[in-house]
Structure 1
Amino acid sequence: MWYGDLIDMKLYSDDGEDLYVRLAGSELDSSPKRKKLVLILALTVIPTTLLLFSCGYCLRKRKNEKKGNAGGHARESTYGNFSNVSVKSSDLPLFNLGDVVIATDDFSESNKLGEGGFGPVYKGTLRNGKQIAVKRLSRNSGQGIEEFKNKVALIQQLQHRNLVRILGCCIQGEEKMLIYEYMQNKSLNYFIFDRTRRVLLDWRKRFDIIIGIARGVLYLHHDSRLRIIHRDLKASNILLDDEMNPKISDFGMARIFKGNQTQGNTNRVVGTYGYMSPEYAIDGLFSVKSDVFSFGVLLLEIISGNRNNSYHNPDSNLMGHAWQLWNEGKSLDLLDSSIADSCPTNEVLRCIHVGLLCVQENVTSRPTMLSVVSMLCNEMAIPPPKKPAYSNKKNFMDADSSTSGAGSYSINEMTATEVHAR
């Protein structure tokens, strides 16, 4: 490339001047043999590089999928099928680990509210004074980061006055934490099963709690954007705010259904004995009617103040006792004696009636939550109940041994741990 006029250098010297020109190496040797060699190298090196890159990408993707699926059915059983639903998690509130550590005083025992199968729960106070509840998930959960974010984003979309509100999450390294609103009055089992504290829940408050739980489950089954089966309804998962309003919590085992899907099955049964429907405990089949069964057990527990799976009668559980009293025309004897003198008889009998309908052994005989709410809130004709599942402890233990003895089914025993929630 020349700038200006091209001048013959001989004009400046008799012997001429040396002129140095910088060229590419390929310009110096343009022989056919060299051109052929360059072409061969280009046609082999480039495709080989692309092939190696593609193989490496596929292997890494497969490795991540295997890591995300660690534990096989265990992941499905502990965190539910949230991975098949697409949501945007870009707006998901993420808490800084340092802020959470400060809020919980480095997860001190004095701030520990309880511990379940998925990890401990701590009370925390943010710098702005807002109180929170932090669920620190166990590290062996087998759940990937993206699936965890997806689950939290989905739960955050559930907006109902009878569901605990999730504020966000904290993800750093192997740490995965859920941040919830703090419930001042802890959980329902903190009151209902304590001889001293149960008197604080008179019939009117108990009835309001029953209705609130029913409406929360109805929202999950029918009114939310996706049909959600909780699969772990129990007294310790019903939290109470400062006005004793019930809020359903802990969606760790929840399953999401799309469209008109109403039931599913699993190879790994998880939950808490005493609340599990027979078709789920024995065969791994679950549906909206599984939650109805759990609600029925919870309803009878709230009325009586007794746990179903630790009822004082050695030959019967709470459901069997309620069924016997129903047949003898003595259903009011089921009522907690601490509040028996101040209860509207018809309302109590209607609640017991609905509870027995919910715990029937036949799935098709159980009402939907829509019918449950209608029957509880209105004076209407209600069909007579049939014999409940596990009507005696022998049947219950048979279901227990049948479930645990099956090769493909097992119980996540950790989830039976009683949680003293916030």
Structure 2
Amino acid sequence: MIVLTLLTFVFTPTAAQPWRICGAAVAMNDTANSTYHANLELLSTRLTDNATTSPYHFATGSVGAAPHTVYGLALCRGDVNATVCRACVATASQGAQQLCPFGADATVFYPTCRLRFSDKNFLHPDDYSQIVDGVVNTMNTTDTTNTEPPLPGWDPGNAKSVASITQIIGALLQETAWQAAYNSGELMFATGRMDGVGGGFPTLYSMAQCVPALTHRDCSSCLQVISFMATDNIAGRQGGRLLALWCNLRYGTVHFYSGSPMVTIVSPVKDVVPPASSPVTGRKPKRAMIKVLVPLFASIVGLLISFMLIRQRRIKGRSQDRAKTNVKEDEIIVWGLEGRSSGFMVYDFSQILDATANFSEENKLGQGGFGSVYKGQFPDGLEIAVKRLASHSGQGFTQFKNEVQLIAKLQHTNLVRLLGCCSQEEEKILIYEYLPNKSLDFFIFDETRRSLLYWNRRLTIIEGIAQGLLYLHKHSRLRVIHRDLKASNILLDYEMNPKISDFGLARIFSADDTQVNTERIVGTYGYMAPEYASEGLFSIKSDVFSFGVITLEIVSGKRSSGPYRYGDFINLLGHAWQLWKDGRWLQIVDASLVAEGHTSEIMRCINVALLCVQENAADRPNMSDVVAMLSSESMTLPEPKHPAYFHIRVTKEDATIFIEPSSVNDMTMSALRGR
């Protein structure tokens, strides 16, 4: 639970640095005290090293066993380089111990970094229900010793000027906060600028930052609360900052951050400083009136002419738009989507070129199995993900049309939403909703980013994938087998909720079908069920198998297969099953999760995963059973039988087993071969 009891307001940017909040002293004997501080020294070194090398200059960690465990968090400002970050965190580590001597809990805020260490585990916030109370309870810590001059136009006795100043700064802070929470990716850092509004009012600069461990929604909530409190405590000052462990805001009249602002806005208030009035005498009013009326008359004439020209263009444009609309409606009917809601669009290739800046490398998000994916933005501001199928990819028009028809008719919160398509000569393009957090494999297989996925988030992802598959298999208008479910095809939205994507290999099957046979085996090694890989037989149990593999990957943070060795096995499945049989299942769990606890939930997920990857398809549960098992703590789960591929071991007696490496696009099947 996050309660911002560590919030402090500081409006004198030079008088109190570094700012600190000290907790209780270490209540231990001398030996225990020495142990605690030895752990603290080791943790400080690790935080300094990890924050320096992290792409977001962020690090968390813990050292020592209870009751002498020390937990820590370090974060540098988003605009500083590694050298500045290292120096700041190292200084903060020493400063925290000096500013809070013998403290068991200390938080320090330096201009370019913040750091906290504690004997309590504060690293995994998951509830914002008391955030407002936490902020309100810290109001007494407000620093009222302000020596900065007021902003121009600030008059405490003038209600209009007070409201204007508050509105200006509040608009700047909220826009910057939104940029940090939702438009800066995993960095969760943004800078802003608001140009002066005239009358001597200065340009304002701003900055907002969250700890990357927060979800985008939590970051937004944290920043929103303190931005509201900022406007309540501005009092016309030329600069101020609000400091909390999980998020902070700052504004001022000095360009205090490095680089150009990430967001620039125009002031919403134009009358902060009323223009000075001067008396007029004699014939001056008439001259002034003439000076006003002549250009006004000319402007009216110009507007009338412009109106006539625009009207003619609009009449011509509407006829062209109607023709285009009829074409698009005809195309939608050809695609078999006439029953689809009007939200689906058939786009012109020129629109896609404009949205992606001609498929520029800067907009490229990644390389998929059948082409590249680009970020784009339409003129109305809508952000999109554009999947441009390669002409040599092997996905022809039939597969393309299959994916369009399929996804356009599927609607579920855990499925990626298809907005439209484009088919023009050799170009075959799919337009999806843009999901900023990329895919599951981007997080789960990266040492640094994996730490951002604490257990509650991972469980939410597992349950979301299960709900999406249940919809495909049972509750959609079509019964669908995905056939290529894997970590890279699970996209994550702003709140890290999972969405199943890439339906190019999906197949529709009737209610009477239990399994289907195909001669063309396509998919990704490591996620393919054995009956499909060896005989071409696929069913809903094929997707269940893939789900089990992904669940084991989420729990362990390890890939299911590849150029690795897991104990006596060459894949994760056999290794996990052996540890489960031996009662040592905790050894497969990602180390960052072990310290959190939740062992019963983790154990249940491993049990469900092993049930899903059993070698015999008939032994695997369906997704209805999987959802029930994941959601019910009281349900007794059966013991899993051995998984597929469990017999493939690496021993001294066995011949070397060669794993043919997957192709770059990660979509072709790879085979196991003895040599």
Alignment equivalent of 2:531, drawn from 262, 276, 279: 279
Using the alignment, how far apart are the partners of 2:462 and 2:450 within structure 1?
Answer: 15
Moved over 3 A (4+): 85-92, 140-151, 392-395, 411-415
> How has the CA–CA distance of structure 1 residues 401 and 223 changed in structure 2, closer, same or farther, with 3 Å as cutoff?
farther
2:632 pairs with 1:382:
no
2:370 pairs with 1:118:
yes
Q: CA shift at 1:401, angstroms?
A: 9.1
Using the alignment, how far apart are the partners of 1:309 and 1:143 within structure 2?
Answer: 26
> How has the CA–CA distance of structure 1 residues 388 and 147 changed in structure 2, closer, same or farther, with 3 Å as cutoff?
closer
Greater share of residues in strand? 2
Larger radius of gyration: 1
> Any idea what the Cα deviations from partners look like across 1:54-81, whole Å, max 9, x if unmatched?
xxxxxxxxxxxxxxxxxxxxxxxxxxxx
2:614 pairs with 1:364:
no
Alignment equivalent of 1:332, drawn from 550, 563, 586: 586
TM-score, scaled to structure 1: 0.72
Greater share of residues in helix? 1
Alignment equivalent of 1:270, drawn from 493, 497, 522: 522
2:481 pairs with 1:226:
no
| Residue matched to 1:214 | 466
> How has the CA–CA distance of structure 1 residues 282 and 334 changed in structure 2, closer, same or farther, with 3 Å as cutoff?
same
Q: Secondary structure at the match of 2:595?
A: helix
Q: Which moved more, 1:149-158 or 1:255-264?
A: 149-158
> How has the CA–CA distance of structure 1 residues 187 and 286 changed in structure 2, closer, same or farther, with 3 Å as cutoff?
same
Q: Which has the higher contact order (CA 8 A, sep 6+)?
A: 1
Q: CA shift at 1:147, angstroms?
A: 6.8
Q: Secondary structure at the match of 1:273?
A: coil
Is the Cα–Cα contact under 8 Å of residues 322 and 334 in structure 1 kept in the other structure?
yes
Q: Secondary structure at the match of 1:388?
A: coil
| Residue matched to 2:457 | 205
| Residue matched to 1:241 | 493
Is the Cα–Cα contact under 8 Å of residues 264 and 286 in structure 1 kept in the other structure?
yes
Using the alignment, how far apart are the partners of 1:97 and 1:414 within structure 2?
Answer: 27
Using the alignment, how far apart are the partners of 1:159 and 1:182 within structure 2?
Answer: 16
Alignment equivalent of 1:292, drawn from 523, 544, 551: 544
Pairs within 5 Å for 1:130-209: 130-140=382-392, 148-149=400-401, 151-209=403-461
Q: CA shift at 1:334, angstroms?
A: 1.2
Q: Which amino acid aligns with 1:242?
A: Y
Using the alignment, how far apart are the partners of 1:231 and 1:295 within structure 2?
Answer: 11
> How has the CA–CA distance of structure 1 residues 307 and 412 changed in structure 2, closer, same or farther, with 3 Å as cutoff?
closer
Using the alignment, how far apart are the partners of 1:151 and 1:374 within structure 2?
Answer: 30
Q: CA shift at 1:417, angstroms?
A: 5.4
| Residue matched to 2:595 | 341
Pairs within 5 Å for 1:8-47: none
Using the alignment, how far apart are the partners of 2:371 and 2:603 within structure 1?
Answer: 39
Is the Cα–Cα contact under 8 Å of residues 88 and 153 in structure 1 kept in the other structure?
no
> Any idea what the Cα deviations from partners look like across 1:382-417, whole Å, max 9, x if unmatched?
11100111115459x99x999x9xxxxxx9956525
Q: Which amino acid aligns with 2:566?
A: N
Is the Cα–Cα contact under 8 Å of residues 527 and 549 in structure 2 kept in the other structure?
yes
> How has the CA–CA distance of structure 1 residues 187 and 146 changed in structure 2, closer, same or farther, with 3 Å as cutoff?
closer
Q: CA shift at 1:129, angstroms?
A: 1.1
Q: CA shift at 1:143, angstroms?
A: 6.2
> How has the CA–CA distance of structure 1 residues 192 and 145 changed in structure 2, closer, same or farther, with 3 Å as cutoff?
closer
Q: Secondary structure at the match of 1:169?
A: strand
> How has the CA–CA distance of structure 1 residues 143 and 204 changed in structure 2, closer, same or farther, with 3 Å as cutoff?
closer
> Any idea what the Cα deviations from partners look like across 1:158-184, whole Å, max 9, x if unmatched?
100000000000111111100000011
Using the alignment, how far apart are the partners of 2:665 and 2:515 within structure 1?
Answer: 22
TM-score, scaled to structure 2: 0.46
User: 5+ unaligned residues in a row in structure 2: which ranges?
Assistant: 1-334, 669-675
Is the Cα–Cα contact under 8 Å of residues 525 and 662 in structure 2 kept in the other structure?
no
Q: Secondary structure at the match of 2:592?
A: coil
Q: Secondary structure at the match of 1:289?
A: helix
Q: CA shift at 1:152, angstroms?
A: 1.0
Q: Which amino acid aligns with 1:390?
A: Y
Alignment equivalent of 2:566, drawn from 309, 313, 316: 313
> How has the CA–CA distance of structure 1 residues 120 and 143 changed in structure 2, closer, same or farther, with 3 Å as cutoff?
closer
Is the Cα–Cα contact under 8 Å of residues 89 and 153 in structure 1 kept in the other structure?
no
Equivalences, count = 325
Q: Which amino acid aligns with 2:498?
A: P
Matched-pair identity in % = 58
> How has the CA–CA distance of structure 1 residues 269 and 136 changed in structure 2, closer, same or farther, with 3 Å as cutoff?
same
Q: Which amino acid aligns with 1:259?
A: A
> How has the CA–CA distance of structure 1 residues 190 and 151 changed in structure 2, closer, same or farther, with 3 Å as cutoff?
closer
Q: CA shift at 1:261, angstroms?
A: 1.8
Q: Secondary structure at the match of 1:297?
A: helix
Q: CA shift at 1:252, angstroms?
A: 0.7
Q: CA shift at 1:194, angstroms?
A: 0.2
Is the Cα–Cα contact under 8 Å of residues 87 and 150 in structure 1 kept in the other structure?
no
Q: Secondary structure at the match of 1:164?
A: coil
Q: CA shift at 1:340, angstroms?
A: 1.1
Is the Cα–Cα contact under 8 Å of residues 370 and 394 in structure 2 kept in the other structure?
no
Is the Cα–Cα contact under 8 Å of residues 289 and 366 in structure 1 kept in the other structure?
yes
